[in-house]
């Protein structure tokens, strides 16, 4: 099947009817072994169908992607790389991995792609260790005149281990929208690297490239990391690369959140990380709309080190997921996906405008990607109260810190809302404007409640009478015109 017919088929009635039969058959097979799992699987579909999903990191993968994962590829061990495995009989895994990598290279215009990482965090670990291996291990090995790390004496190995553990990384701060895996202490990356972060301008809340440059000059990181999970704006990767070059840092971009916008050609030129970064990491299940997993793109220079992700930080690759990545990446190479990605961005704009028109405060004043970050302090609420009140009313979002958040990372002062999932269901600008209206009604009708110790509560709240039920009904009405997996009779 060619790439253009792939979407035509995916939209056809035959495709839906066949997928429907496939799921019915699969569930009846599962039912014979553990009926509660079949039931929970059905229930999950029902719940997803009836929920207004605004979680910025979630999406709905196609039936083709989902069905691809349920195969005997799950049974195969294939440690190593294509054509170079530590297990026998991997010829079909080779086929699958090669196709997935080819799609990834073609889609993103990358010199090299590695599709084995099981998740976003794994992709980042592969990237970090590839950078360390490239920039720390090899010169040291050459100096002492040995071929491989196994030839080093115990003493030499100790000194190398110390070198690995004393490198520096500079990434975006958490409250500005950065990610835990970019060198923060609770994550293993924070134990690997001596880390510092750059924030955003206190007035505009935008990345201040001069500040990034100043931090880089002072700190001299080995790795400069760009990428975020809660920053509602685009990043100029050309400027970031310039800064990295100035201080001799490897430039890494984690596009876990916005890979779909890169794939769909919404982020082009200096907003496309691939031509500028040495290494790009991603998840495959967020805006990219594939199976749960990760991938790494790299320049030729880093390809060999990334290729050693297994055994460096990964065990056996999940061949069934690599197969599903191949299917999702094939979907992402269609013009239909580009239309989708543009709609994701247009919808985020509509959502932001809907909020602003109704007096809400947005971090940075708006969005030009797939998410908005609502500062809910104006409603007298914490992010936690807002998240719970919205959920009671049928709106699924998640709380998130805002820059310099006075309520910290647990209670927070913000709520993050994204458009990828509902855009997959077919929502357009009008529907997202309605979402803003419903959310503002809920937040305006919610008051904080006193905690059990009599202090002002950060978690408790009360919704106005009838507000939750009224909003739930309105959400159901909104969703009714945009069925999830139409044609799937389950």
Q: Which parts are annotated binding residues? A: 174, 178-180
167 binds ligand PLP (CB under 6 A): no
Choice among 53, 286, 325, 434 that is catalytic:
286
> Which alpha helices (DSSP H) does 358-466 contain, by range?
383-392, 408-411, 420-424, 429-444
Would you call 79 a catalytic residue per the annotation?
Answer: yes
Q: Which residues are annotated binding-site positions for (6S)-5,6,7,8-tetrahydrofolate?
A: 174, 178-180
179 binds ligand PLP (CB under 6 A): yes
Would you call 461 a catalytic residue per the annotation?
Answer: no
Q: How far is the CB of 43 from ligand PLP (least distance, A)?
A: 23
261 vs 360, beta carbon nearer ligand PLP: 261
Residue of 18, 55, 9 lying closest to 420 (CA atoms): 55
Give me the helix-helix angle, 13-31 and 3-11, nearest 10°.
70
User: First CA to last CA across the chain, in angstroms?
Assistant: 28
Q: How far is the CB of 460 from ligand PLP (least distance, A)?
A: 29
Among 41, 48, 92, 119, binds ligand PLP (CB under 6 A): 119
Which residues make Cβ contacts (< 8 Å) with residue 330, sequence separation at least 6?
3, 6, 103
Q: Name the residue number minimizing CB distance to ligand PLP.
A: 120
Site of tokens 């990380």: 273
192 vs 467, beta carbon nearer ligand PLP: 192
175 binds ligand PLP (CB under 6 A): no
Choice among 175, 254, 272, 433 that is catalytic:
254
336 binds ligand PLP (CB under 6 A): no
Q: How far is the CB of 444 from ligand PLP (least distance, A)?
A: 30
Take residue 297 and report the two structure tokens written for it.
Answer: 């793109």
3-class SS of residue 14: helix
Would you call 292 a catalytic residue per the annotation?
Answer: yes
Q: What is the DSSP letter of 111?
A: S
CA atoms of 407 and 426, how far apart (whole Å): 36
110 vs 438, beta carbon nearer ligand PLP: 110
Q: How far is the CB of 259 from ligand PLP (least distance, A)?
A: 10
Residue 313 in contact with residue 119, Cβ under 8 Å? no
253 vs 478, beta carbon nearer ligand PLP: 253
Judged by CB under 6 A, the number of residues near ligand PLP is: 14
CA atoms of 200 and 177, how far apart (whole Å): 9
Choice among 15, 77, 265, 472 that is catalytic:
77
Q: How far is the CB of 179 from ligand PLP (least distance, A)?
A: 4
Peptide bond connecting 247 to the previous residue in cis, omega within 30 degrees of 0: no
CA atoms of 75 and 319, how far apart (whole Å): 8
121 binds ligand PLP (CB under 6 A): yes
Q: Is 293 exposed, middle or buried (0-12, 13-18, 19+ CB in 10 A)?
A: buried
141 vs 409, beta carbon nearer ligand PLP: 409
Residue 413 in contact with residue 70, Cβ under 8 Å? no
Hey, how many other C-beta atoms are within 10 angstroms of the C-beta on 327?
24
Q: How far is the CB of 172 from ligand PLP (least distance, A)?
A: 9
187 binds ligand PLP (CB under 6 A): no
Chain-centroid distance of CA 63 in Å reads 20
Take residue 207 and report the two structure tokens written for it.
Answer: 């990345």
257 binds ligand PLP (CB under 6 A): yes
- Tell me phi and psi for residue 85, to 5 degrees: -110, 150
296 vs 488, beta carbon nearer ligand PLP: 296
Chain-centroid distance of CA 453 in Å reads 39
Residues 282-301 that bind ligand PLP (CB under 6 A): 283, 294
233 binds ligand PLP (CB under 6 A): no
E strands in 219-278: 223-227, 250-254
125 vs 244, beta carbon nearer ligand PLP: 125
Residues 54-73 that bind ligand PLP (CB under 6 A): 57
Q: Is 43 exposed, middle or buried (0-12, 13-18, 19+ CB in 10 A)?
A: exposed
256 binds ligand PLP (CB under 6 A): yes
Q: How far is the CB of 244 from ligand PLP (least distance, A)?
A: 18
Residues 357-396 that bind ligand PLP (CB under 6 A): none
> Which stretch, 73-81, 251-259, 296-304, 401-409, contacts ligand PLP (CB under 6 A)?
251-259
Choice among 181, 283, 419, 424 that is catalytic:
283
Would you call 333 a catalytic residue per the annotation?
Answer: no
3-class SS of residue 448: strand
Choice among 168, 213, 292, 349 that is catalytic:
292
- Tell me phi and psi for residue 329, to 5 degrees: -70, -35
288 vs 478, beta carbon nearer ligand PLP: 288
120 binds ligand PLP (CB under 6 A): yes
Interface ranges with ligand PLP (CB under 6 A) = 57, 119-121, 124, 179, 181, 227, 229, 254, 256-257, 283, 294
* Residues involved in catalysis: 77, 79, 254, 283, 286, 292
């Amino acid at each position: 099947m060619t790439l253009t017919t792939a979407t035509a088929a995916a939209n056809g009635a035959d495709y839906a009817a066949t997928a429907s039969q496939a799921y019915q058959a699969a569930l009846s097979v599962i039912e014979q072994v553990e009926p509660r799992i079949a039931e929970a699987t059905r229930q999950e579909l029902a719940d997803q169908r009836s929920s207004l999903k605004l979680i910025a990191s979630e999406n709905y993968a196609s039936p083709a992607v989902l069905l691809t994962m349920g195969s005997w590829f799950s049974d195969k061990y294939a440690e190593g790389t294509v054509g170079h495995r530590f297990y026998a009989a991997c010829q079909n895994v080779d086929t699958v991995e090669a196709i997935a990598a080819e799609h990834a290279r073609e889609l993103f215009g990358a010199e090299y792609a590695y599709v084995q990482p099981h998740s976003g965090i794994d992709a980042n670990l592969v990237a970090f260790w590839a950078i360390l291996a490239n920039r720390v291990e090899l010169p040291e090995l050459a100096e002492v005149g040995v071929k491989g790390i196994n030839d080093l004496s115990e003493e030499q190995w100790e000194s190398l281990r110390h070198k690995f553990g004393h490198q520096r990384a500079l990434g975006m701060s958490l409250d500005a929208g950065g990610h835990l895996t970019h060198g923060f202490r609770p994550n293993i990356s924070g134990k690997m690297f001596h880390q510092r972060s750059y924030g955003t301008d206190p007035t505009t809340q935008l990345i201040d490239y001069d500040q990034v440059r100043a931090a880089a000059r002072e700190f001299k990181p080995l790795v400069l990391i760009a990428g975020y999970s809660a920053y509602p704006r685009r990043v100029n990767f050309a400027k970031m690369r310039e800064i990295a070059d100035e201080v001799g840092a490897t430039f890494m971009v984690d596009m876990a959140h916005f890979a779909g916008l890169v794939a769909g050609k919404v982020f082009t030129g200096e907003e496309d990380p691939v031509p500028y970064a040495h290494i790009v990491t991603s998840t495959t299940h967020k805006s990219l709309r594939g199976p749960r997993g990760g991938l790494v793109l790299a320049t030729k220079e880093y390809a060999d080190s990334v290729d050693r992700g297994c055994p460096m930080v990964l065990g056996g690759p999940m061949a069934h997921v690599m197969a599903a990545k191949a299917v999702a990446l094939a979907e992402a190479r269609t013009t239909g996906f580009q239309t989708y990605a543009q709609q994701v961005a247009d919808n985020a704009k509509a959502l932001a405008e809907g909020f602003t028109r109704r007096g809400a405060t947005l971090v940075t004043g708006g969005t030009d990607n797939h998410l908005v970050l609502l500062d809910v302090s104006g409603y007298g609420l914490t992010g936690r109260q807002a998240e719970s009140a919205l959920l009671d009313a049928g709106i699924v979002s998640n709380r998130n810190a805002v820059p310099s958040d006075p309520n910290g990372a647990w209670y927070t002062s913000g709520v993050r809302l994204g458009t990828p999932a509902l855009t997959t269901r077919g929502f357009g600008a009008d529907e997202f404007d309605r979402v803003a209206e419903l959310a503002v009604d809920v937040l305006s009708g919610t008051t904080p409640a006193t905690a059990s110790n009599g202090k002002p509560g950060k978690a408790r709240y009360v919704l106005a009478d009838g507000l939750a039920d009224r909003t739930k009904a309105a959400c159901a009405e909104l969703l009714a015109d945009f069925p999830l997996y139409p044609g799937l009779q389950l």
